[in-house]
Amino acid sequence: MGPSDTITLDKLNEVLAEGRSIKLLDEGIYTVLDGKSLHHQYDKKAAIYDFLVSSRLYNRLVWGDSPHNYAAFAAQGVKSHQGGLVLDAGCGSLLFTARAHLECGRLVIACDQSIDMLRRAQKRLMQLGGRGCGRIILLQADISDFPFHAGSFQTVLCMNVLHHHSDAAGLIRHLKASLADNGQLYLTSLVKNNRPIGDRYLNLLYKKDWIVRPRSGAELKSLSQDLLGAFPGYWTRGNMAYVTTDMR
Ligand SMILES: C[S@@+](CC[C@H](N)C(=O)[O-])C[C@H]1O[C@@H](n2cnc3c(N)ncnc32)[C@H](O)[C@@H]1O
């Protein structure tokens, strides 16, 4: 472990809520979980997720949107400020965010409960040539049991995670509270949006217990406005909803 690793770990320890501690789980991957729940939804599904969800055709047909747009939103998020910590909450394999994190020069905490997703994230960072890898801390954490101090992050990304959470309001509140005073939240979620293919597929995923009851676009918009202020940036493309508190 070099001096820069020590600095990033010190930073991670600084933002952890009271009573939380980290352990090394794998080389370069830390955990705040106590190991009680060893299996998570995306373990063993990480490879198929990456294969399917990186496909332009799949996204266009099923969700009416594109991987390019997801990555552009993430890049806008990390470029929204020059400095300060970034949290990528439910980062998965960094499918749409790895490049943005590597290019932004900021310190990033990328957390997910699935160790398989985090291992893929690590591999992706290495493959993309990571001189910036050392600035990106991979952390196994459960964001429903939010492990970070209020006010810790300048920018929070939470992409494609909310449709897995029944307590959307609770999660949005935690994400908002984790922002510094002038911080920015960038969030995406699948929603029903009067698209027969996408809406039916969301219902199917719900029946298979893969996601929670699908929310409508209107429901998420109203929830976001209630929790984030009167005019958060909100738009949809196909079944993908984009929410941001960054009004520029
Ligand atoms: C649909 S994937 C999205 C991954 C990534 N953000 C992306 O856009 O490709 C949902 C991710 O959220 C993670 N996740 C769901 N609930 C979580 C929780 N309570 N704590 C941490 N991660 C969670 C899953 O493990 C999975 O990697």
Q: What is the pLDDT of residues 193-246, one digit of tens each?
A: 999 999 999 999 999 999 999 999 999 999 999 999 877 899 999 999 999 999
Q: Is the CB of 45 under 6 A from ligand 1?
A: no
Q: Is the CB of 236 under 6 A from ligand 1?
A: no
Burial class (CB in 10 A: 0-12, 13-18, 19+), 63: buried
* Ligand 1 center from residue 161 Cα (angstroms): 5
Query: Pocket of ligand 1, candidates 31, 59, 164: which has the most ligand atoms within 8 Å of its Cβ, to mutate?
Result: 164
Q: Is the CB of 161 under 6 A from ligand 1?
A: yes
Residues 242 and 221: their CA atoms lie apart, in Å, by 9
Residues 214 and 162: their CA atoms lie apart, in Å, by 10
Q: What is the CA radius of gyration of the chain?
A: 17
Characterize the bridge pairing of strands 233-237 and 240-244: antiparallel
pLDDT computed for residue 8 by the predictor: 80
Q: Is the CB of 115 under 6 A from ligand 1?
A: no
Q: Is the CB of 146 under 6 A from ligand 1?
A: no
pLDDT computed for residue 17 by the predictor: 95
**Chain segment 76-118, per-residue pLDDT in tens:** 999 999 999 999 999 999 999 999 999 999 999 999 999 999 9
Q: How confident is the model at residue 130 (pLDDT cuts 50, 70, 90)?
A: low
Residue 139: which H helix or E strand, with range?
strand 136-140
Residues 126 and 130: their CA atoms lie apart, in Å, by 5
162 Cβ neighbours under 8 A, 6+ residues apart = 168, 171, 172, 187, 188, 189, 220
Residues 78 and 184: their CA atoms lie apart, in Å, by 9
Q: Any idea of the CA torsion for 127, 129, 130, 132, to the nearest 10 degrees?
A: -140
Please spell the DSSP secondary structure of 86-131, one letter per residue: EEEET-TT-TTTHHHHHHH-S-EEEEES-HHHHHHHHHHHHHTT-T
- Mean predicted lDDT score pLDDT of the chain: 93
8 Cβ neighbours under 8 A, 6+ residues apart = 107, 134, 135, 137
pLDDT computed for residue 134 by the predictor: 82
Q: How confident is the model at residue 37 (pLDDT cuts 50, 70, 90)?
A: low
**Chain segment 11-26, per-residue pLDDT in tens:** 899 999 999 999 999 9
Q: Is the CB of 136 under 6 A from ligand 1?
A: no
CB atoms under 10 Å from CB of 39, counted, come to 11
Residues 77 and 147: their CA atoms lie apart, in Å, by 22
